[in-house]
Structure formats: structure tokens, C-alpha cells
A and B are shown apart, each in its own frame.
Chain A
Amino acid sequence: MEIYLDNSATTRVYDSVVELMTDMMKREFGNPSSLHRKGSQAESYVRYAKQTIAKNLKVNEKEIFFTSGGTESDNLALMGAAFANARAGKHLITTCIEHPAILQTMEHLQELGYEVTYLPVNSMGQILLQDLENALRTDTILVSIMHTNNEIGSLQPLEEAAASVKRYNPNIVVHTDAVQGYGKYRIYPKKMNLDMVSVSGHKIHGPKGVGFLYVNEKIKIRPILYGGGQQRGLRSGTENVPGIAGLGRAVEEIYHNLDQDVEGIFYLKQRFLSGIQTIPDCKINGYLDERSAPHIASVSFRGIRSEVLLHALEDKGIYVSAGSACSSHKPTVSATLKAIGVEPDLLQSTLRFSFSVFTTVEEIDYTLQSLYDIIPMLRRYTRH
């Protein structure tokens, strides 16, 4: 038996996506930039995917740029906007629980002379609007706030945050990393005052190595890759045609029955968490209700090393993620867990369970039963 509860790391690809992509790699191998028919046929797939996504976000087609995934989208958004708007100022704002694709890019920008304010979060992993308002300055050019946290699933008050940024100065560019939120929530950038949105394909049952960045046509942005000038010069490089087509199909599929699917996933999470609450000495990180993403559950198990529990679950065919990658020599502790004030003892004892539309009630129950069996056994050998 194989139970995959690591859907925040990556997801199983929809069969329809696999079929479409296989077919395309065999037949539609043309280069969209080629002038002949083979090229224009390939281009039509790219355009179709673009239309699908634009419609889904209620934005203009030409505001969608395909990338190699979430990391590239984040890099392009931050560096592209920071470089293009440097004359207006060099101050950037983000949160301290962002994905490394944001945090490391911000660090790089700091080396290049930009100044970055990192907003703190409360114990539930949310920023306070007041903190954001206090951080805004006349030389602020960019605010990047993640939609859904990847480790504990906390949602940010994104719409309110964006509104208050725009109230302060409408020229400040607002970006969100929606890699974990897209496909679980409807995201309408125009309505929500978001100028840029990063999305990755493989978190929504699409292929790896592809994603997109929505960029409001009104904002200034510069490319970070140079070359043949594809995608209106913002993202050079021959388009990953099968990947893009697969991404488009995944968007169609995941939003097809979104409300029902999300309700189902949220039910599984609640069932899982109420089962967890019967285990002594466990702490659930983040909100239990709708203020947290429907597909992510973060649990700390006192006295058990996350990696050990992870491997014990793996033995039973259950795949989860350790909240922090740890090792005997260099324990690297999760910045998010630290930021929400998880006690030091629990930092290395936290697992993330993340669900998808493919997860079943039986799988949840089997996982709970496995935890009931394993945990008392592992607690006998607590490291001291």
C-alpha cells in the first residue's frame, strides 16, 4: 500500500495531463517560434493554456508568463520588479515565513543594495496589518506576501494587506507567492489588488518544471533571463510546450469541481486532526478552521525525532514530510516553525501531512492507526 500525504511537496499528475503531454511530445514537438505550420500548431497549445489560465484568474492573456516553476516565478517577480523600479526606491517588504525562493532572492537583493523589511507573524503564522502599515515607506517599491504558508498552511490577510499597500501608495508593486494556495482557492488578482502572482504546475497535479507568473500589464518589470525574446521579451527561451499544455489542463481539472473537492480535502484534514488530538503530547501548529489551508496539517510529536517518525511511517507505506530537514551534525531548523514560536523541543519533532483530491478516508484512518501504533513504540526510545 502506498499512501501519499506529501502533496505540498508535489502531487500526482492527473491522467488527462499525462495523456495530453505524451501525445504532444510524440506529435506536437514543434517550436512555437517557428514560422511553419508545425510551429504554429505548437503555439496554439501555448495560447490555449494561456487563455485557460487568464480566464481562471480573470486577467488578460498577455499578463501570463510561463516559467520553469515557482522558484523562477518568484525570482522573476522580485528581481524583475526591484530592478525596474529601483529609481522610485530600494525598499522591499516581505514576511519572515516565505518560501526560500522568496527569502533567498530577497537576500540576494540585499547584497545588491536593496533594503528588506521582514514582517513577523503571530503564533498562528499570520502577519498583522498594523506591522505592514508601519513598515511602508516612501521608498517602498515592492511588497511580497505569500498566499498560503507551505509548512503550516496559514493564510495571510492578503486582500486587506494589498488594499492597505495601495492606499498608502498605488505605485508599490504587490506580489504573492500562491504556489500552495492556487488550486485550493480562487485567486482574482485584479479584485485583490495583486500585481504579480507566482504559481507552480506540479503542486496542482500538473507537470514539474513549469509554472507561471501573472504580471499586471501596468507595472514595470525587467527580464532576468536574456535570449531570443520569447514571451514578449520578459522570459526568453523556447517555451516548454508540453509542460505548458499540461499545466493548462491541470488548471482546468483542478478548478472544475473546486468547491466540492476542497470541501472533501478539508473534511479529511479535520478527520485527521481530530484523530491526532487523541494522541497525548501532540501539538497542532496553526489554526484548525478555515483560517488555515484545507490541505496542510502540521503536527509536533513531543519526544520523537521527525525524521525517525517519517521513516517509520514510510515503512508502512505512508509518505509525509519532516517540518525541518535535520541531521546529527547540522540541525537546520524551519524558519516558519521558529517564527510562530514553536518551542525548541518540538522544532525537530514536527511533521507535515498534506492531502489532495486523491486522498481517501481509508488512507486517513490507516495513517492514524499507524501513528497510534508507532508513537508509543518510538517514545520508549526518546533521546535525552
Chain B
Amino acid sequence: MLPAFLIKYAEIGVKGKNRYLFEDALVQQMKYALKRCEGEFAIRKTPGRIYLDALTECDFDEVVENLQTVFGISGICPMIYVEDEGFEKLKETVVKYVRDTYPDRNKTFKIMARRARKNYPLDTMELNASLGEAVLDAFPEMTVDVHNPDIYLYVEIREKIYLYSEIIPGPGGMPVGTNGKAMLLLSGGIDSPVAGYMISKRGVKIDAVYFHAPPYTSDRAKQKVIDLARQVSKYSGPIYLHIINFTDIQLAIYEKCPHEELTIIMRRYMMKIAETIAKETECLGLITGESIGQVASQTMHSLYATNEVCTIPVYRPCIGLDKQEIVEISEKIHTYETSILPFEDCCTIFVAKHPVTKPNLEYIKRHEENLKDVIDGLMETALSTRETIVVRCEDSV
């Protein structure tokens, strides 16, 4: 029998009249994830449920692994379904299911019957009792435990009858595409891909901007960022990655501003550029990987100074996380190995020995005045010469 799955979704069940939008988005994202799997599949939507049927042979683990990248899925239940051929037949089917699914049957269980079709001759209580009895008769080594069983055996009476017992957790969240779009400032580090993942989890589509500084940063550093974007796009869907040549702006800041303030001033211009592109591309916010106090440019004072240039919301999902917590997420989403590759990024090449940790906004603004003759031109050039590439997870490296 070809594998079939019941897809459980949590939050989107409660979205009232918009529910179909969420369900459609979820189906869309499932299709995107299944492109990475061998085999053909059909997705069926019925009220309150989404079913996935394999139409050809497929790799069960591969399917599950890829479904686990689809935000909005709370559980993946491998299941079988059968035609309703009477209750005696159903008992046989349940017994066979238990025999096939659990080679070791020294377990406690509970039948979880449910009738979506209320005209079924037995009610829920009767179903639970009779099917439980059938299982007990067939497998004396099994016992019933209604409070804390090893196995919950779900039997759902619908137009067909569905059997499942295992619920593999999904990533949760909401389907991408149900919540607008935001622009991620993607560096080569550990935090920004995690930030992108976290916001995307709430249903947000993602575009990204990367600041490239040749010859201070290499093509390998750029490739690393593309690789990170590709990994995030497994979850978020295709990402438009804007690559900005930042060298001239960085050098201008270096020449004309105090070196302790380099990073802050640089980040202010990065935010401005990101915001400009965000507005052009209908993004409703910026996303950064900042976490309070992690480095000099991420103290409350520094964030205040950086944030001051932004006119659209800046989402910082890592803000309250410790480094280790961020690392754990990056390991979970497999960006960590790439993030720790040792290539210079634009934030690390011109770091002052003692950068300010409590920048004074007035000073910063005064020092930015030194740039006023050149900066508009430089920003315009940086924006107009940007390279934009679409990164999809199925692209080969």
C-alpha cells in the first residue's frame, strides 16, 4: 500500500472566514516541499483536514523530512484508509493495522474513535469499546490504559475510515504567504539565517539583502551567503537575494568618521539601503539577527542608534535569545555548518579595536555630516548596481 498522511495543522484551524486562505497557502507550501521528494503525490483538502497521498512509490523518511519544513503543519500522521465495509471488516482491519505497525506489542493502548459521519451505526463509545475488545482478543499481551497509553489508536469514521496512531511533530507556525513579506539583512553569521527562519515561521515571505565588500570580502563569502539563503528557503520558499556592493560606502565612512563609530554608522547605512529596497519590493518590515548585548553594535544604546534611521518596523526575533539558544536553532535548521565557515564578512573587516558600546546619537549624526557630499551618490550607486538573484532550495550548488 502506498503511504498516505493526515496533515494536522494547529493555528490555522481558528482563523474564521480566512481559513481557506491559510489552507490554500499550506497546500501550496506542501507542494513546494514535495518537489524535493522523489515520487508523485496528491493533496486533498476536506473540511478540517488535509490528506497527502503518494501516487507512486516514495521514500517515507524523505517525505516526512520535507514536510517538516512546511510551516503551519503541527503533526504528520502516517495513516491507512479503507472503505467502510461493515463493522466486522473494520475490526479485522484494526487488528491487522496493529499487527503490521507494532512488531513489539507489549504495550498499553487506547482506541480514539471519532465519527465525522454521525449516521454510522455505532457511536463513539461503542466503537472504542468494541474495537478495544477486538485488539485485546487478538493480542493478549496488550492491555488497555485510558489515561496514559503507549499507543493512541485513532479511528476516524468519515466517507472512508482512517486509521493512524503515530503523530510526527511538524514545525508549527503558519503557512508562508499568509502574512506579507519582510526584508532580511543576511550576513554570513549564525544569527541572521535563524532570524529569517523565525519570522518566516509566522507565515511571512522573505527577501534578503547582503552587503558585499570586494576585495575585502571574497566570492566565497558571497557564495556562503547564497548557500545560507538556500537553506532558509527550504522553509521560507524562494528568496530574492539582493547583493549590494558596499565597499565604497565603507571606505568613505572609514576615511571621514571616527573609527570607534564605524560599525554603528555602517549599520545605519545598511538599514537605510535595506529599507529602500524593502519599500520598492513591498516588504512591510526589516528582519535582523540582533540579540541584545551580543556585541558592541547590539547594546541597547547601539540598537537605539541603528534603529533611528528606520521608518518601517524592524523585527529582531533573536533579540532575547542567548548565543547558545540561537546556535541550537541554527543546528536544527542546518545553517550552522555553513555559518561557521571562516570567511570575512563586511561587518568584521573594519572593526575598531574599541568600538563604542554606548554611542551618542547626536555625535553620530554630527559625524555623518562629514559624509554629506558623497553619501547620496554612493547610496544611489550601491542601489542601482545591486545584483538580485532568486534563491530556491532546489537549485543545485
Contacts and interface: CB of A to CB of B under 8 A. Distances in A.
A384 B259 contact: yes
A307 B352 CA distance: 19
A328 B343 CA distance: 7
Nearest to A327: B342
A315 B215 contact: yes
A307 B218 contact: yes
B139 interface: no
Contacts of A325: 342
Interface string A303-316: 00001111110110
A326 B343 CA distance: 8
Given A380-B255, A381-B254, A311 B349 contact: no
A314 B350 contact: no
A36 interface: no
A308 B349 CA distance: 10
B343 A327 contact: yes
B3 interface: no
A330 to B, nearest CB: 6
Contacts of A310: 215
Nearest to A312: B215
Interface in B313-372: 342-345, 348-350, 352-353
Contact of A327 (B214, B344, B352): B344
A308 B216 CA distance: 5
A232 interface: no
Nearest to B214: A311
Contacts of B352: 384
A383 interface: yes
Interface string B254-268: 110001000000000
Given A381-B350, A384-B259, A330 B216 contact: no
A308, A310, A314, A315: most-surrounded residue (chain B CB, <10 A): A308
A329 interface: yes
Nearest to A381: B254
A328 B259 contact: no
Contact of B216 (A311, A327, A380, A384): A311
B342 to A, nearest CB: 3
Contact of B215 (A314, A327, A383): A314
Nearest to A313: B215
B125 interface: no
A381 B254 CA distance: 7
Contact of A307 (B344, B350, B353): B344
B301 to A, nearest CB: 23
B251 interface: yes
Contacts of B251: 381
B214 A329 contact: no
B211 to A, nearest CB: 15
Interface string B183-227: 000000000000000000000000000000011111000000000
A309 B218 CA distance: 11
Contacts of B342: 325, 327-330
A327 B344 CA distance: 6
Contacts of A327: 342-344
B215 A328 contact: no
Contacts of B350: 381, 383
Interface in B240-294: 251, 254-255, 259
Contacts of B345: 328
Contacts of B343: 327
A334 to B, nearest CB: 15
Contacts of B349: 308, 328, 383
Interface string A182-214: 000000000000000000000000000000000
A381 B214 CA distance: 14
A315 B348 contact: no
B52 to A, nearest CB: 43
Contacts of B255: 380-381
A310 B214 CA distance: 11
Given A328-B344, A381-B350, 17 more contacts: A308-B215, A308-B349, A311-B216, A314-B215, A315-B215, A325-B342, A327-B342, A328-B342, A328-B345, A328-B349, A329-B348, A330-B342, A380-B255, A381-B254, A381-B255, A383-B349, A384-B353
Closest 8 pairs between A and B when the two form their complex, measured CB to CB: A327-B342, A311-B215, A328-B348, A312-B215, A311-B218, A308-B216, A328-B344, A381-B254
23 contacts: A307-B344, A309-B215, A310-B215, A311-B214, A311-B216, A311-B217, A312-B215, A315-B214, A325-B342, A327-B342, A327-B343, A327-B344, A328-B344, A328-B348, A328-B349, A329-B342, A329-B348, A330-B342, A380-B255, A381-B251, A383-B349, A384-B259, A384-B352
